[in-house]
């Protein structure tokens, strides 16, 4: 049955083209939403950019017809603006009331109405008035997609296990156990990492990766980037993905709880490639890190760009302190010398940091680009970053989808999860989820990751 979807402002801020995503159903924009978009179009950062893009899209539709009467959409439905009467109360209360009034007006015409908003409170208010309400699901990954970890465990016949390091093994030669403990062919994905166990002596293991119709040994199993030694299967997999040249692995997506060495290992590989054993692959390491409030506040902070973003990049400095002074017993004994070494890295341009809103519109060539805390990006932002990759650039997306600070994003709608779901199976994308048990920060951090 054809439905009428009433869109809230936050939907268009997240996805400016959302009006075209409802197939042959009708889409309604309350006048309050247009007014809010008009107020946002001068805003700094991505909110302002999205508002302006949404307004331009509406202008194109306005030229094609009458928005008050309804304009045809590509999917077969229509888009129209619902006029309303302004009430009393605060600005937020009036906006809530006017959006809900638009829903009730549509319902009075006998149409099945659904309010689409990312505001949970507004969804509750709508349900209280008998109006169906839901989140915008077009850019939302499914629960099954969100559970993809980029790693599996399989069993190998004992005689084939011995030959793996020399020749690899066919995907159809390994098996896993189903719910009844019966052998079954595993559903493996391109570039998925695999722990292989000999079926007669399961303590014997090999580490491999899916490549075409085979599982091949890791190339960088014995590497020690900037002196860092892997301590778990996950870190061996992480090392493999990061050490691969950009022509083979231009996009690496790593998810995992805090303390699993995501940022630490990414920086270690960058320093290895540029400083320890220069390969000529990259011109620089570029690190960026989004923040939920950063877009709207950076212009008001004192100093130049680097001074503004210095507090945001402090976790990067923390990791560099550990990498540049690997002796745990002597680390931090000479704080001045350690600080000088870190400043030298930045002064020589080996590592550079930039604000996320200055990344937009640029193209990066021969760059090792680390995007830390990528779970705080929207799908639109993550697309904007990945599509800026020029020749020889490697993009490393890091984050924990369960620790999100950005309003209106959750573990299934954030940019990191969106990119992981959409890029799954691409030969150009290598993915990995670190296990909580692979936390290396401290015993307390590991225990907290498992308990909290």
Residue ranges of the alpha helices (H) in 257-348? Answer: 262-271, 294-297, 305-309, 314-324, 335-347
Most confident of 41-45, 64-68, 247-251, 409-413: 247-251
For residues 110 and 256, state if they share a domain.
Answer: no
Lowest-pLDDT range, 183-197, 262-276, 333-347, 409-423?
333-347
Which helix H or strand E contains 258, and what residues bound it? Answer: none
What's the average model confidence in pLDDT over 18-44? 93
Residue range(s) defining the domain that contains residue 297: 241-451
* Contact status, residue 70 vs residue 78, Cβ threshold 8 Å: yes
Report how far apart, in Å, the C-alpha atoms of 34 and of each of 4, 19, 27, 79 are: 18, 13, 14, 13
CATH number at 255 reads: 3.40.50.300
pLDDT at 296: 46
More confident residue, 252 or 74: 252
- Name the domain boundary from 76, 106, 134: 134
Q: Is residue 281 part of a domain?
A: yes
Pairwise CA distance, residues 431 & 149, whole Å: 7
Pairwise CA distance, residues 250 & 241, whole Å: 10
pLDDT at 51: 93
pLDDT at 339: 86
Average pLDDT, the chain: 88
For residues 301 and 432, state if they share a domain.
Answer: yes
Q: Is residue 230 part of a domain?
A: no
Q: Where in 199-350 does DSSP place strands (E)?
A: 201-211, 214-217, 251-255, 284-288
For residues 116 and 255, state if they share a domain.
Answer: no
- Name the domain boundary from 134, 158, 176: 134
For residues 311 and 430, state if they share a domain.
Answer: yes
Pairwise CA distance, residues 2 & 26, whole Å: 8
How sure is the predictor about 146, in pLDDT bands with cuts at 50, 70 and 90?
confident
Pairwise CA distance, residues 5 & 173, whole Å: 50
Report the percent of the chain where pLDDT is more than 90. 60
CATH number at 44 reads: 3.40.50.1010
Q: Is residue 355 part of a domain?
A: yes
Pairwise CA distance, residues 324 & 268, whole Å: 9
Q: Is residue 227 part of a domain?
A: no
Q: Is residue 38 part of a domain?
A: yes
pLDDT at 303: 52
* Contact status, residue 423 vs residue 431, Cβ threshold 8 Å: yes
Lookup: tokens for 102: 């638009």
Q: Is residue 280 part of a domain?
A: yes
pLDDT at 179: 77
Report the percent of the chain where pLDDT is more than 70. 91
- Name the domain boundary from 134, 158, 190: 134
How sure is the predictor about 394, in pLDDT bands with cuts at 50, 70 and 90?
very high
Pairwise CA distance, residues 385 & 218, whole Å: 28
For residues 117 and 248, state if they share a domain.
Answer: no
Report how far apart, in Å, the C-alpha atoms of 132 and of each of 98, 104, 108, 128, 241 are: 16, 11, 14, 9, 45
Q: In 3-state terms, what secondary structure has residue 93?
A: helix
Report how far apart, in Å, the C-alpha atoms of 242 and of each of 221, 316, 322 are: 12, 17, 19
- Per the structure, the count of domains in the chain is 2
For the stretch 264-288, pLDDT in tens is 999 999 999 999 999 999 999 999 9
Q: Is residue 186 part of a domain?
A: no
Q: Is residue 437 part of a domain?
A: yes
For residues 416 and 300, state if they share a domain.
Answer: yes
């Amino acid at each position: 049955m054809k439905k009428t979807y009433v869109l809230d402002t936050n939907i268009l801020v997240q996805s400016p083209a959302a009006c075209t995503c409802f197939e042959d159903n009708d889409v309604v924009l309350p006048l309050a939403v247009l007014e809010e978009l008009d107020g946002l179009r001068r805003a700094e950062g991505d909110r302002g950019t999205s508002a302006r893009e949404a307004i331009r899209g509406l202008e194109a539709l306005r030229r094609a017809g009458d928005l008050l009467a309804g304009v045809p959409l590509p999917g077969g439905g229509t888009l129209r603006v619902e006029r309303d009467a302004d009430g009393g109360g605060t600005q937020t209360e009036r906006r809530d009331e006017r959006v809900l009034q638009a829903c009730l007006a549509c319902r009075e015409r006998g149409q099945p109405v659904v309010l689409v908003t990312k505001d949970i409170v507004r969804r509750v208010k709508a349900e209280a008035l008998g109006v169906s309400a839901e989140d915008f699901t077009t850019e939302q990954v499914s629960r099954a997609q969100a559970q993809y970890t980029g790693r599996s465990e399989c069993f190998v016949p004992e005689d084939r296990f011995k030959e793996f390091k020399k020749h690899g093994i066919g995907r159809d030669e390994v098996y896993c156990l189903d719910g009844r403990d019966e052998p079954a062919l595993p559903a493996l994905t391109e570039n998925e990492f695999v722990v292989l166990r000999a079926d007669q002596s399961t303590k014997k293991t090999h580490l491999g990766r899916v490549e075409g119709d085979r599982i091949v040994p890791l190339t960088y199993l014995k590497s020690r980037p900037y002196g860092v030694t892997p301590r778990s299967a996950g870190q061996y997999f992480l090392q493999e993905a990061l050490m691969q040249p950009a022509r083979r692995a231009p996009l690496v997506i790593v998810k995992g709880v805090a303390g699993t060495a995501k940022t630490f290992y990414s920086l270690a590989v960058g320093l290895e490639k540029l400083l320890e054993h220069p390969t000529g692959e990259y011109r620089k390491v570029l690190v960026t890190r989004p923040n939920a409030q950063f877009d709207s506040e950076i212009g008001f902070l004192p100093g130049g760009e680097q001074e503004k973003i210095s507090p945001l990049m402090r976790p990067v400095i923390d990791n560099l302190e550990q990498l540049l002074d690997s002796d745990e017993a002597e680390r931090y004994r000479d704080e001045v010398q350690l600080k000088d070494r870190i400043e030298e890295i930045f002064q020589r341009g080996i590592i550079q940091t930039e604000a996320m809103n200055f990344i937009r519109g640029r193209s990066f060539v021969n760059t090792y680009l680390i995007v830390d805390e990528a779970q705080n990006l929207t799908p639109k932002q993550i697309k904007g970053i990945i599509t800026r990759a020029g020749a020889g650039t490697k993009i490393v997306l890091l984050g924990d989808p369960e620790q999100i600070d950005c309003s209106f994003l959750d573990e299934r709608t954030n940019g990191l999860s969106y990119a992981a779901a959409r890029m799954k199976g691409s030969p150009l994308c290598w993915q990995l989820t670190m296990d909580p048990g692979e936390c290396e920060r401290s015993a307390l951090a590991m225990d907290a990751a498992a308990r909290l």
